[in-house]
Structure 1
């Protein structure tokens, strides 16, 4: 396979090193990088010759000069910017006739997906979303088990994801719901995508708790009933996890059986890039239902604790219902 030419927007961000590593792993070239922060020394380990810019205008001019003066065309723009900028940066890539690889969430609001599909068609380009859980061995095995099981079975699922964040979180773009989409979008969208991929279309979406640090609710899919809980509050971490010095806890139980997926994450971006370069990546329509789910959660009325709800919301648990 011929080397592809990449640029990356948001190279100073948290997730950018995984993209840089994936570009290197797939034996491609990183020609240009952009970030308003200049703390990007990570590039020295992978692409020290990459041209780096802190201003979009100079980044954009450089790409134009590569094309017109040297006949070098970008093949892909990798987008690692804050969530609310994804839509604009995808559009920028497509207008240049360049494919886009975008971190989740692909956009914040579902109504932005259809226009991007139109621009894809007009520009003969492709938008690929990083939906890495679909490539995790344990999740692939779970999907195969569900697909090969009884077609009329409704599975019982408990999803818990607790990933502690410090005070900085609320003062960053991630703490601004208009920029991140809130807790469910920022830390949960890839889980909702995974659930959609395995269990089908959503038929019910109820929210029992929603604030700046925690969210919980109940989802019904064609093949599953899901009680979910997400939080960035360290106080919600189980004591046995705290004793180990860890600040993250994740659990997926399907029909009361724990799905082990605590490891195996480090190579998922590499696998994502391999699939995208082979024409087997996941596109805008693949990501759409998870974006609809988080939008509905963000705008939902809070439901009373009746029927099914996550065990952490029980009165004798570590949390009380938030009104």
Structure 2
């Protein structure tokens, strides 16, 4: 890319790497997972998994992956067309999934979503509270109140609302696992990410408190903190006028700069695999933690 308006500054490049963005997914994510969907004896066979923000990105990849491992997946998102497409994709591969339109910023919709999943599948075993957004890089004093409220309402209040309505069902069932999608921004940040960082830091405290409160009820609460993930949510930082090919090349360049270990972005499927592992009995003694999965991103700061 040339200089000027179409150039991405190093500040923006490394900032994006620190953001741990999780937006829309990579085409073909259902490939290997879908091929396993018919194997209904997977490690989540008979389990009900609820996911927020699963019409794209990490959420979508997780819905596909949990279903491929035998789970009955209830998921939400605001984009109905994409939600129906994910539902159809999972069912076509032999899995079980139900899409319910819900906005995590609205308490009534979150409550209804959780209750409908429980009614549909007879309980709740695992929740992945994944819904989140980000805004273009903006210095703190230039962030509008509306932008701040939108990020906070989605990225931290939305998680609070999900926990509020999920926990009673899990306590009544005798236990469960709640995962929350955090971010590498819980550990380190860059200029222009104030609203996002504030919300994601709030995730740490919320997870710790919920974990302590619910450990006596056999409920684990853990945050999965992704590093830079290749999703269309990154498009909020896309300079005007770039072709898709140019944008892909630019993302590869700033991934090489920002992720000192693997020097590339994560794929949503890699974060979904981490979620499956963290929700499994393999991590039975893990609760209250934020688990960084960033390809060596923060190790190089």
Larger Rg, first or second structure (1 or 2) = 1
Bigger share in strand:
1
TM-score when normalising by structure 1? 0.46
TM-score when normalising by structure 2? 0.49
Give the structure, 1 or 2, with the largest relative contact order (CA under 8 Å, sep 6 or more): 2
